[in-house]
Amino acid sequence: MPKLMNNKNTDSKPLNKKKSKFIFKSPKGMHDILPDDQYLWDRFLKNGKETAEFYGYQKIETPILEEMDVFLKTLGEESDVVEKEMFFVKGGGADKYVLRPEGTAAVCRAFIEHGMSHRPQPVKLWYVGPMFRREQPQAGRYRQFHQIGFEIIGGSIDPIYDAQVILASFRILEQAKIKNLTVNINSIGCRICRPHYRKRLVEYYKKHEKTLCADCKRRLKSNPMRLLDCKNSSCAPLKAKAPSLMDNICVSCSSHLKLVLEYLDELSLPYVLNPHLVRGLDYYSKTVFEIFADQNPLALASGGRYDYLLEEMGSRPTPGTGSAIGIDRVIEQMKAQQVTPPKSSKEKIFFVYLGDIAKKKVLKIIEEFRKTNILTQESFGKDLIKRQMALADKSEAQLALILGQREVFEETIIIRDLKSGLQETVPVTKVVDEVKKRLK
């Protein structure tokens, strides 16, 4: 037996007499998911998993850390994520890792590494987990956030796959009871037509360079497609008259988009064509989309086609398309809509004890219930029986199991129906069966 400590709780004594003013907080832009919100996360994740499985996606998990180049070489050097939002982590020696800023490149890395091109194509994968971007934190924009994502990799460049990844995200948002969802969709062209369009765009903006905001002046040199993404009101009139992607993409890209829209029509998914939608990452081609709920300017889900990404990562040419839902944003929307926690379907009992020996026995009796479907509750911190009974009455439990000194001595236990107040003493060896009988 270990040496007994003296009963005074020295741990809880403050270290200094002076009260410390310092309070630790979660890292900037990162938040705790507290017990009170867990039912929303659980409900959302359960729906997500069921929907993914229904549509034939298989789950994949990739590490939180990836080699830096997985993202540096794929998202685009000029993309915001690569330029300023990556969290770098030092490995040993020359190893350089980053906290993954998104899921697609990591899943494609795994697809190549594990030879998934030898499986029946396309391969449909889903994932869920935290992503990290060093963004300027604001409402709905965090440095650690969570995504559930869908990828369809391999096979042919078929617009039906674009419709399928949009569909999975859309249905999950619907199940989360998010109202008035709309898909914003566009095509950003392919290797053949995009360079021509980019040239026209640069020619157009060059004529008006002086009037551009500072960000757009920079983008004009580094990433002109992002000029279409500018939210600055001073650039809005120029943006409205900019050459439209729709008018400049090639026949193959426009007929691809047309078919995606026909599939969305067939599924009755509401969409609007947004000729200014370009997305922040370089790996996209053809279809790009974002899903919004009305009134909320932040996208709840987004994604697009990435037919060159795997090739850039060293694979043979392999098309792909995907979507990701921002779970934190969805949970906020669910909270705003006051989604209530579901009642637990499991039965509950509450243990009440008197004295140290009874407390020990309760600890052991709880173990007997572990293999049943019955949840147990106790309040070991509150030795007063009156306070324990008050808590039992407030709880969702149907029965209180009371163990006093007499019951310990007689090897019995009292089962009290918390609704009727009726109680009965039973042998402690039969407690599980007696409780089961009463809960039936």
The HSE-up count of residue 192 (CA atoms within 13 Å, CB side) is: 6
Shortest distance, CB of residue 38 to ligand AMP, whole angstroms? Answer: 19
Shortest distance, CB of residue 329 to ligand AMP, whole angstroms? Answer: 5
Long-range contacts of 355-361 (CB under 8 A, 24+ apart): 355/404, 355/405, 355/408, 357/405, 357/408, 358/403, 358/404, 358/405, 358/407, 358/408, 359/383, 361/403, 361/408, 361/428
372: Cβ contacts below 8 Å, ≥ 6 apart: 432, 436
Q: Nearer to ligand AMP by C-beta: 142 or 205?
A: 142
Q: What is the CA radius of gyration of the chain?
A: 29
Q: Nearer to ligand AMP by C-beta: 328 or 347?
A: 328
Shortest distance, CB of residue 166 to ligand AMP, whole angstroms? Answer: 12
Q: Nearer to ligand AMP by C-beta: 147 or 248?
A: 147
Shortest distance, CB of residue 333 to ligand AMP, whole angstroms? Answer: 10
Shortest distance, CB of residue 183 to ligand AMP, whole angstroms? Answer: 12
Shortest distance, CB of residue 120 to ligand AMP, whole angstroms? Answer: 27
Spatial distance between the Cα atoms of 358 and 308, rounded to a whole number of angstroms:
68
Among all residues, whose Cβ is closest to ligand AMP?
Answer: 326
Q: Evaluate whether 366 touches 435 at the Cβ level (below 8 Å).
A: no
Shortest distance, CB of residue 332 to ligand AMP, whole angstroms? Answer: 9
Q: Nearer to ligand AMP by C-beta: 133 or 226?
A: 133
Spatial distance between the Cα atoms of 178 and 344, rounded to a whole number of angstroms:
23
Shortest distance, CB of residue 115 to ligand AMP, whole angstroms? Answer: 26
Locate 336 and state its tokens.
């705003």
Spatial distance between the Cα atoms of 63 and 104, rounded to a whole number of angstroms:
13
Shortest distance, CB of residue 35 to ligand AMP, whole angstroms? Answer: 22
User: Quick one: which of 133, 44, 35 has its CA closest to 331?
Assistant: 44
Shortest distance, CB of residue 283 to ligand AMP, whole angstroms? Answer: 11
Longest Cα–Cα distance in the chain:
95
Locate 216 and state its tokens.
């757009």
15: Cβ contacts below 8 Å, ≥ 6 apart: none
- Kind plus residue range of the DSSP H or E element containing 417: strand 412-417
Q: Nearer to ligand AMP by C-beta: 73 or 141?
A: 141
- Encoded amino acid at 353, one letter: Y
Q: Nearer to ligand AMP by C-beta: 165 or 415?
A: 165
Q: Nearer to ligand AMP by C-beta: 280 or 412?
A: 280
Q: Nearer to ligand AMP by C-beta: 111 or 350?
A: 111
User: Quick one: which of 388, 229, 240, 249 has its CA closest to 302?
Assistant: 229
Q: Nearer to ligand AMP by C-beta: 131 or 397?
A: 131
Spatial distance between the Cα atoms of 387 and 382, rounded to a whole number of angstroms:
7
Binding site for ligand AMP (CB under 6 A): 102, 133, 135, 140-142, 145, 147, 299-303, 324, 326, 328-329
What are the start-end ranges of the H helices in 249-384? 251-266, 309-312, 327-336, 356-368
How many residues are recorded in the chain?
440
Q: Nearer to ligand AMP by C-beta: 127 or 145?
A: 145
